[in-house]
Structure formats: C-alpha cells, structure tokens
Amino acid sequence: MGEEVLSVEELKKKIEIGPPWLTRFERARVIGARALQISMGAPVLIDAEALPRNVREDPVLLAKAEFEAGVLPMTIVRYTRSGRIQAIPLKWLLVLDKKRAH
C-alpha cells in the first residue's frame, strides 16, 4: 500500500472547498479533539519521553506536538452552503501550510 506523493500544485488542485491550507478554526479543532483523546487515555503517537516534562504532562501541548510532527491520521471535512462535501487528509493541508509559511 504505497502512499502516492503529490506535488504542491497537484494538492492545491485537489482541494476544491475552502483555502488550500488549514484555517485557524480547523487547527484549533484538531488540536482540541486530539487533546481530549489523549486526556481520555489514547496512546501518544510521538516519543513523549523526548519532550520536556511540562509538555509530557499537558494533553494540549502533547496534541500540539503531534500536530506539528504531522503524525495525526485525521481528515478535515469541509462543506459548502449548497451541500457539497469534501474530505481532505490533514497531511495534505499540513504540506500546503508549510509551503505557505515560506
């Protein structure tokens, strides 16, 4: 099961609804949802022992570290008023977010 590698331009073309990056609201929702999962006992997806103690003990900071590492297997679902729906892998938006920051 190989993961296809797409260029930045190909990713931009695939995102039909909304901007080709994460909005601040989507970013907050992803980190908040993951922090809730961690606080309820979900396993951490990165090496938490390598992080400072204050980060290891705070679910929000752990979720933010996972988010920044790009390891969260999540999908962003965007809707339009007309009823169109698009599910966008979080990894795509993170790639475009990094390209946008430069």
Please give the residue range of the domain that contains residue 97. Answer: 20-101
How does pLDDT run across 7-41, given as a tens digit for each residue? 888 888 999 999 999 999 999 999 999 999 999 99
How does pLDDT run across 31-86, given as a tens digit for each residue? 999 999 999 999 999 999 999 999 999 999 999 999 999 999 999 999 999 999 99
> Is residue 2 one of the residues assigned to a domain?
no
Q: What is the CATH number of the domain that holds 90?
A: 3.90.940.10
For the purposes of burial, counting CB atoms within 10 Å of the CB of 102, is it exposed (0-12), middle (13-18) or buried (19 or more)?
exposed
| Domain count across the chain | 1
Whether residue 69 contacts residue 77, with contact meaning beta carbons closer than 8 Å, is answered with no
> Is residue 9 one of the residues assigned to a domain?
no
> Is residue 15 one of the residues assigned to a domain?
no
What is residue 100's predicted lDDT score, i.e. its pLDDT?
Answer: 72
